[in-house]
Amino acid sequence: MASPVLSVSPSDVTLPLILSSYKSLPITVSTEEKPAVSSLTLSNNDTIAGTNTIVSHLSTLIPLFAKTTYTDAESAEITQWLTLTSATPIPEEAIAQLNRNLKFRTTILGEKLSIADVAVYARIKSQVASWSDEQKTGEKGYRYIVRWVDFVQNTPDLGLQIPAEEKIVVDPSKVLVYLKPEEPVKEKKKEGGVAGEDSKKKVKGRAGAGKVKEEAEKVKEAVKDAAGRAATVVIGEGKQGKKEKKDKPKREAPKKEEPVISPSQIDLRVGHILHCMPHPNADSLFVSTISMGDPEGSPLVTPHSELSLPSEVLAEHAPLPTVRTVCSGLNGLVPIEEMQGRKVVVVANLKPVTMRGIKSTAMVLAASPAPAPGGDPTAHKKETVELVTPPEGAVAGQRVYFEGYKAEPEAVLNPKKKIWEQIQPGFATTSELDVVFDREKAGWTGDAAQGKAPGEGPVGKLVTEGGVCKVKSLVGAAVR
């Protein structure tokens, strides 16, 4: 049986490091023209596309990672970091999040090595090399990332084969050391403590809470005049001291900036429906088994042991790829024949929901006539519904995005923030049957656009590497 063939994209920095470090991998690297997206053709001629999916597959062939047991939470964290660091360059927010994650950790998972350490290192290395000393080890620098980078590239346990001249140089003489914010405050309290002791002696033995308070004010003023700065004065003991403590001005926490809402937060992918059947407990629902490029071990995939697929489907897709179970309210709106063995566009990062006893972990995008202004918003359910179709040649797991809004999506959309609800109204179709994000339809114009991603134009087409995603015939439709 022929070994799998790997085609590496010229922009891919992750796979070359894996190939050079783990030379025993049973794969052949293609020498033909380089593709725009890395792909791996398996022995049965099935193709895996996308660096993250390939990395997850290769990790099962590398002894170091194949022999390591990861919990579901750890597997989900590996997937999260592969996703967050996919963009080039890695977004500033993802870098800051990585730095916080590594504050008390040796590796991305804590102490356990994983393929995430290799992939994230390969992707962030060039950015770290370009950082100034202040960015690396300054007061607000990414010192924990720098420490982790130095560990990853040098630890023999991981075994990365990196030429010395290509490693990130960590020069101890250029490490900038700053006192922690708490330290100067402690010094001031110590100096103020002397005045506090004096004040205790002055007021000791005096009767009456009023006199004690008056004396305390005098001591405070004396300390301010003599030292030129505020000092904390502890007066007496018991209840009076507690009252003085309450009078201290409270520090206000800095206001957090609200994140910008963008269609790029939605994880849109090409999905391949391997099989579709009516929901056993709901007449309006279909239950689909969909491949969408998830790595092995993802908590969102359905274990093969829990699947009940026709023998012809199993034979056609052997070995069976990772799949998710997806419920969709399309029964009676789309013929079940059109749901079999076809490519669709899926929303992959909505929070999973259980629909009539079956857990659904994604959503299939479909178009329907937009309701008339002021009309019945559910009227579309009584009319034609068409599935959104990716361009010819698209493969399962391929990223889909709106032009002008390409960035890494959220790992999971927080339902409390209503991100999907604020973005989806802008999904529509044009007279050319293209699926687009229309800012005006979403209400992202004028003052309403505050806090919304600007994009590159009023309308952005839904695209993947091979072209534009379309519908069959519906013009001016809503997509949901």
What tens digit of pLDDT does each residue of 3-38 get? 899 999 999 999 999 999 999 999 999 988 788 889
Q: Which of 142, 166, 190 is the last residue of a domain?
A: 166
- Report the pLDDT value the prediction gives residue 232, as an integer from 0 to 100: 42
Q: Judge whether 229 lies within some domain.
A: no
Counting residues of the chain whose pLDDT is more than 90, the rounded percentage is 58
Q: 190 versus 440: which is more confidently predicted?
A: 440
Counting residues of the chain whose pLDDT is more than 70, the rounded percentage is 80
Q: What is the mean pLDDT of residues 458-477?
A: 94
The predicted-structure confidence for 134-160, as pLDDT tens digits, reads as follows 898 888 889 899 999 999 999 999 999
Query: 287 and 422: one domain?
Result: yes
Please, is 173 exposed, middle or buried when counting C-beta atoms within 10 Å of its C-beta (0-12, 13-18, 19+)? exposed
Q: What is the pTM of this model?
A: 0.51
Query: 144 and 270: one domain?
Result: no
Q: What is the mean pLDDT of residues 298-302?
A: 92
Query: 389 and 280: one domain?
Result: yes
Q: 456 versus 363: which is more confidently predicted?
A: 363
Domain count, the chain: 2
Q: Judge whether 223 lies within some domain.
A: no
CA distances from 449 to 44, 278, 458 (A): 50, 41, 11
Q: Judge whether 195 lies within some domain.
A: no
- Report the pLDDT value the prediction gives residue 177, as an integer from 0 to 100: 54
- Quick check: 172 pLDDT over 80? no
Q: Judge whether 202 lies within some domain.
A: no
| Average pLDDT of every residue of the chain | 83
Helix axis angle, 115-130 relative to 14-21, nearest 10°? 120
Q: Which of 111, 138, 166 is the last residue of a domain?
A: 166
Query: 162 and 17: one domain?
Result: yes
- Quick check: 207 pLDDT over 60? no
The answer to whether the peptide bond before residue 89 is cis (omega within 30 degrees of 0) is yes
Query: 410 and 274: one domain?
Result: yes
| 187 confidence band (pLDDT: 50, 70, 90) | very low
Q: What is the mean pLDDT of residues 369-374?
A: 77
Q: 95 versus 49: which is more confidently predicted?
A: 95
- Report the pLDDT value the prediction gives residue 209, as an integer from 0 to 100: 45
Query: 155 and 46: one domain?
Result: yes
> Residues with Cβ < 8 Å from 48, sequence gap 6 or more?
39, 40, 41, 42, 54, 57, 293, 321, 397
Query: 142 and 277: one domain?
Result: no
Cβ distance 267 to 348 under 8 Å?
yes
Q: Judge whether 85 lies within some domain.
A: yes
Helix axis angle, 72-84 relative to 51-59, nearest 10°? 140
- Quick check: 182 pLDDT over 80? no
Q: Judge whether 443 lies within some domain.
A: yes
Query: 346 and 452: one domain?
Result: yes
Q: 249 versus 354: which is more confidently predicted?
A: 354
CATH at residue 48: 1.20.1050.130
CATH at residue 371: 2.40.50.140
- Quick check: 200 pLDDT over 50? no
| 317 confidence band (pLDDT: 50, 70, 90) | very high
Domain that holds residue 18: 5-166
Q: Which of 166, 187, 205 is the last residue of a domain?
A: 166
Q: Judge whether 447 lies within some domain.
A: yes
Query: 137 and 284: one domain?
Result: no
Query: 301 and 432: one domain?
Result: yes
Q: Judge whether 178 lies within some domain.
A: no
Distance between CA atoms of residues 113 and 121, nearest Å: 12
How many Cβ atoms from other residues are within 10 Å of residue 327's Cβ? Answer: 24
